[in-house]
Structure 1
């Protein structure tokens, strides 16, 4: 189940809030930090460079990646272990068709699709191939989305420097009094400011955000594939549990076994 990730918008608001607060403490106010031409060079120029870097198919995946950056995948791996244990008990007792109704009501599309393939009697190797292909597609989407913003974050400061050089050249050409030099220098540095702000306050954080969420979801999908294949192979409930527990990190594993009151398993973990 997807839900809004409040930390991402909060973080973005704080980034600009802190910067604006710092600006407000000076005597000049915010006006000297607003320059449409500098913004166009930094953001527009770096975005154009990103378009050159990626193919159209890669860029089409970016909107999905942006959506991911403001949502969180509410998949709890311990709950997934419990879910597969329950499915295993039903299948071993009443057969795979007994879970058909429960599967039709599942919210996770990947898990639902995998178990539907099992119910339909698709050969195990075909089920695994289908699910792994879908997993690879998900990985590619996360990877391209993350790379898009990380690369944009690497280009923005460079175009900020280009804007600064343009400003310096214009300043030197029109150089007059010392006051004109100081004024021209401040304008020239605005693009460097924009490049650093957008790269480190938006683009790179979003890129790493997508990467982290992608890694978590891919791990959950790999866990689902393992569980689905175990169900189809007729593995015992205990075997399925032990297979899936290996996907839990040390903290999750300890919490899982402690919850079940199995101290020996906690020590073994």
Structure 2
């Protein structure tokens, strides 16, 4: 579970509710179901018109990833590539085949399989880069849906405002003056709902999905570099150190101090010893 996403949404809603209670004489006036229906219903209706149903189905399945703490272990991928390089140098391709089924990363599994199948390096790079491009296009399209929803929500908030203003102006000339306040509330609250949904829900989700895509693409590019070195029959130590440097800016090694630094160094020395 990604606590930052949940904490951010709850904190935003909490601050909005707190500001309402501190500044309003009658807080329940901020609860306006017709205005909320206009914004939420209009936003989802416009989204259904804008995108195919099949594409939207994939988006809602991916939405769960926003609330999950998806940690990608770069060190595990580096170890798998270094281990494959060690076995390949020893001519033990059968053991590499056996270990392929235990590799959790399908992209890495495909890359190593292509190497042990003696696929030309240029073709390997083309295949892997095509998969990276396809991943980025697919996941950016998913994030784009939420960017579009973040535009629709304030637009339908403005629509609700116009509806409320028309009803309010029409009521001024009528005998029932009590509906003027109700219509004015609808007019103002729909804009408020649209702004909240856009800037607290839809746009942050889109940004989070885009950042997740970029992180996955970075790991995949690292695997491509490791695969090139594996195909070139480079030493396991060279591969491990090069890929560790490649991913250093994503893993803050400077946080380790004192005994924890010693433990990390011991672990790294143990991994390097296994490469020979």
Range class of TM-score, shorter chain? 0.7 to 0.9
Q: Tell me how far 1:231 sits from its aligned partner.
A: 1.3
Q: Tell me how far 1:168 sits from its aligned partner.
A: 0.6
Does residue 196 of structure 2 align to residue 197 of structure 1? Answer: yes
Give the TM-score, by structure 2 length: 0.80
* C-alpha distance in 1 between matches for 2:93 and 2:134: 28
Tell me: CA distance 1:260–1:93, structure 2 relative to 1, closer, same or farther (3 Å). Answer: farther
Aligned residues: 258
Partner of 2:274: none
Give the TM-score, by structure 1 length: 0.82
Q: Tell me how far 1:107 sits from its aligned partner.
A: 1.7
Partner of 2:168: 171
Which sections of structure 2, spanning at least 5 residues, go unmatched? 256-260, 269-276
- Aligned match for 1:28, one of 26, 30, 54: 26
* C-alpha distance in 1 between matches for 2:47 and 2:209: 17
Q: Given that residues 62 and 145 in structure 1 are in contact (C-alpha distance below 8 angstroms), is that contact kept between their aligned partners in structure 2? A: yes
* C-alpha distance in 1 between matches for 2:184 and 2:96: 71
| TM-superposition CA deviations, 1:194-234 (whole Å, max 9, x none) | 10110111000100010111110111111112212321231
Partner of 1:100: 97
Q: Tell me how far 1:174 sits from its aligned partner.
A: 0.7
Does residue 152 of structure 2 align to residue 149 of structure 1? Answer: no
Q: Given that residues 222 and 247 in structure 2 are in contact (C-alpha distance below 8 angstroms), is that contact kept between their aligned partners in structure 1? A: no
Q: Given that residues 78 and 252 in structure 1 are in contact (C-alpha distance below 8 angstroms), is that contact kept between their aligned partners in structure 2? A: no
RMSD of equivalent CA atoms: 2.9
Which sections of structure 1, spanning at least 5 residues, go unmatched? 263-269
Q: Given that residues 245 and 253 in structure 1 are in contact (C-alpha distance below 8 angstroms), is that contact kept between their aligned partners in structure 2? A: no
* C-alpha distance in 1 between matches for 2:67 and 2:198: 18
Q: Given that residues 2 and 68 in structure 2 are in contact (C-alpha distance below 8 angstroms), is that contact kept between their aligned partners in structure 1? A: yes
* C-alpha distance in 1 between matches for 2:194 and 2:250: 40
* C-alpha distance in 1 between matches for 2:14 and 2:43: 24
